[in-house]
Amino acid sequence: MRKRTRPTKQGNSVLPIAINELEQLLQDNFPNNPDLTFSIYHHHGKIMAVFYISYMVENDKIENYILDQSLKMKTDWSTQTLLNEIPLSSGKTNTSIDDVLYGLLLGKVFLYVEQEKEIIEYVLLNKDKRSLEKAETESLVLGPKIAFTESLITNLNIIRWRIRSTDLVLEEIIVGKKISREVRLIYMKSVANEKDVNTMRQRLKDLDVDEIEDSAVLSQYIEDSSFNLFPQFDTTELPDRFSYAITKGKVGLLVENSPSGLVAPATIFSFLESTEDLYMRWQAGSFLRLIRFLAMFFSIVVTPAYVAVITYHYEIIPTQLLLSIGESRAAVPFPPLLEALLLEFMIELLREAGARLPTKVGQTMGIVGGIVIGQAAVQAGITSNILIIVVAMSALASFTSPSYLLGTTVRLIRFPLIFLSGILGFFGLMFGICFLIIHLLRLTSIGTPYLAPLYPLSLQDFNNVFYRLPFSLENKRAKFNIPKELVRYSKKEAKKKQDIDE
């Protein structure tokens, strides 16, 4: 627990106070609240009140350690003797009635002996949470499967166990004016770039909202540009991905009651990284990463290009191919633009339905939607088979993104591009692509350019972003993050070769 540095308001404290007055005070502040347990005990002529909200605390601990011990005490009750006799380590004293009121909500138990100057508090919070489970939205083949939960304490526990170093800082920042929530700013003191940490801290502290619903909402409050299409914070539910980013000098955020952590600064390429690339052999890791980059490009371009070609530029298709395309399109009544939009819409429906339905039904959905409707649509002459292949491939490609947020953005971008291509052919498509590139160039994530290390160009950072080299060759952290410590380990040691018989 962090010690509260708030100055104690000795002057306007209501203490000492009579027990029944205290009860009245609490009742006034929590009107109509049947859950506030306020019990009074007598012992050697002293009166003590114990109060808490029953479901916020661990009741059996109160009974076993607080009530049992204090009622059996030989000496008289006073703040000092109680603190001394009760076998719990988190005991503190408090004089501010506001802190007491707020503490009740945080799962604290309060003891007050009548006419004493201080109230004793114990943190015995009881937070119900789901147990640790396998990651669902970001699944991995290799590597740790554990995912964050909604409990901040559990998440911090996981992170501390992953990064066991005194270097790790977990700053507490309270966000939300009306309904406050604990946010933890997490970074490596000796690695993370000071500017990034300060920017993040400043944005969190300056945030003036009544409440934040989730970490994803928080990320939208503090991001650089709200009108941008692309996510500017890495959102992950994987502790290994989270801690990987932290140890490489990025800054992380964990929010209470949210099962996903935020990492910044993010670049467009960091969304396409998966920790799995590290667990693979470097050749396979590089290959998979490359495939993902290609998939994103492919997913954005292929349907619009099809629409543009079929609508305006069929002269670029050789006759043989044109014949087979013409044949498959012969019965289709729609113009290519409408046909493509229709199919893309259908794929989006399938995806959305699959995401909303329970897992068991979801699988059937895929079969019904993909095979039955697709086949039937072609046979009914509503769409051409070639377009079905194109649309299905581009949808598939968009699902290869390790980040669900980026995948969604990619699928969203397709629609205006299809539209532009349907109206202006390749001119529209090129316009869209140029616009997209300029759009990305203008974007930053907490001040770091979104397209780093491509622009600003930093060739030595290409390793670990576009491909992966064996570990003996990659001994540095990404330079564009401007980490305090660039070198991870000595390259000379790593490359040291042994002679044949040594």
Partner 1 sequence: MEINSNIKAHLQFPAFYLFFIMFGVQTGVGIMGAPKYIFIEAKQDSWVAILLAYILLIIIVSVMLLILKQYEDADIFGIQVDIFGKWIGKLFGTIYILYFFVNLLSILLNYIEVIKVYLFPTISSFILGLLFIILIAYCVLGGIRTIVGMIFFFVILTQWILFLLYDPISRMDWSHFSPMFQASFPEILQGTKATTYSISGFELLFILYPFIQNKDKIKLPLFLGLGYTIFNLLLVTVISIGYFSPVDLADLDWPTLSLFKNVSYSFIERLDNIIIFEWIMVILPNLVLLMWGMTYGMKRIYNVSQKSTLYIASIMVLILIIFIQHDKQVTMITDTIAQFGFWLLFVYPLFLLPIVLIKKKWRRQREDEKN
Q: How far is the CB of 267 from partner 1 (least distance, A)?
A: 13
Query: In this complex, which beta carbon is closest to partner 1, that of residue 194 or of residue 352?
Result: 194
Count of residues in contact with partner 1, rule CB under 8 A:
28
Q: How far is the CB of 122 from partner 1 (least distance, A)?
A: 52
Query: In this complex, which beta carbon is closest to partner 1, that of residue 106 or of residue 317?
Result: 317
Here's the x/- map for partner 1, 437-466, by CB under 8 A: it reads as xxx-xx------x-x--xxxx---------
Strands (E), 270-381: none
CB 151 within 8 A of CB 221: no
Q: Which residues contact 280 (CB under 8 A, 6 or more apart)?
A: 142, 288
Using CA atoms of 23, 26, 28, 32 in order, give the dihedral in degrees to the nearest 10: -100
List the one residue from 221, 426, 462, 467 that touches partner 1 (CB under 8 A): 426
CA distances to 277, 353, 355, 421 from 368, in Å = 34, 12, 15, 30
Binding span for partner 1 by CB under 8 A among 91-99, 159-167, 312-320, 351-359: 312-320
CA distances to 32, 332, 354 from 35, in Å = 9, 67, 41
d(CA 413, CA 422): 15
Structure tokens at 497: 């070769």
- One-letter amino acid at 373 equals I
Asked if 153 touches partner 1 (CB under 8 A), the answer is no
Query: In this complex, which beta carbon is closest to partner 1, that of residue 102 or of residue 455?
Result: 455
Bond before 16 cis per omega within 30 degrees: yes
Query: In this complex, which beta carbon is closest to partner 1, that of residue 454 or of residue 478?
Result: 454
List the one residue from 315, 493, 499, 502 that touches partner 1 (CB under 8 A): 315
Asked if 53 touches partner 1 (CB under 8 A), the answer is no
Q: How far is the CB of 390 from partner 1 (least distance, A)?
A: 14
CA distances to 335, 377, 383, 385 from 380, in Å = 16, 5, 8, 11
Among 458, 451, 400, 402, CA closest to 273: 402
Asked if 294 touches partner 1 (CB under 8 A), the answer is no
d(CA 396, CA 388): 12
Query: In this complex, which beta carbon is closest to partner 1, that of residue 88 or of residue 423?
Result: 423
Asked if 404 touches partner 1 (CB under 8 A), the answer is no
Asked if 434 touches partner 1 (CB under 8 A), the answer is yes
List the one residue from 244, 312, 446, 478 that touches partner 1 (CB under 8 A): 312
Asked if 316 touches partner 1 (CB under 8 A), the answer is yes
Q: How far is the CB of 323 from partner 1 (least distance, A)?
A: 13
Query: In this complex, which beta carbon is closest to partner 1, that of residue 79 or of residue 458?
Result: 458
Asked if 356 touches partner 1 (CB under 8 A), the answer is no
d(CA 127, CA 57): 8
Q: How far is the CB of 441 from partner 1 (least distance, A)?
A: 4
Asked if 334 touches partner 1 (CB under 8 A), the answer is no
Query: In this complex, which beta carbon is closest to partner 1, that of residue 25 or of residue 317?
Result: 317
Q: How far is the CB of 437 from partner 1 (least distance, A)?
A: 6
Q: How far is the CB of 88 from partner 1 (least distance, A)?
A: 54
DSSP per-residue string spanning 240-300: HHHHHHHHTT-EEEEETT-S-EEEES--TTGGG--THHHHS-HHHHHHHHHHHHHHHHHHH
Binding span for partner 1 by CB under 8 A among 351-359, 388-396, 429-437, 474-482: 429-437
β-strands 444-445, 261-264: how paired? Answer: unpaired
Asked if 321 touches partner 1 (CB under 8 A), the answer is yes
Among 34, 474, 499, CA closest to 248: 474
Among 257, 288, 254, CA closest to 274: 288
List the one residue from 168, 300, 429, 446 that touches partner 1 (CB under 8 A): 429
Q: Return residues touching partner 1 (CB under 8 A).
A: 312-313, 315-318, 320-321, 424-427, 429-431, 434-435, 437-439, 441-442, 449, 451, 454-457
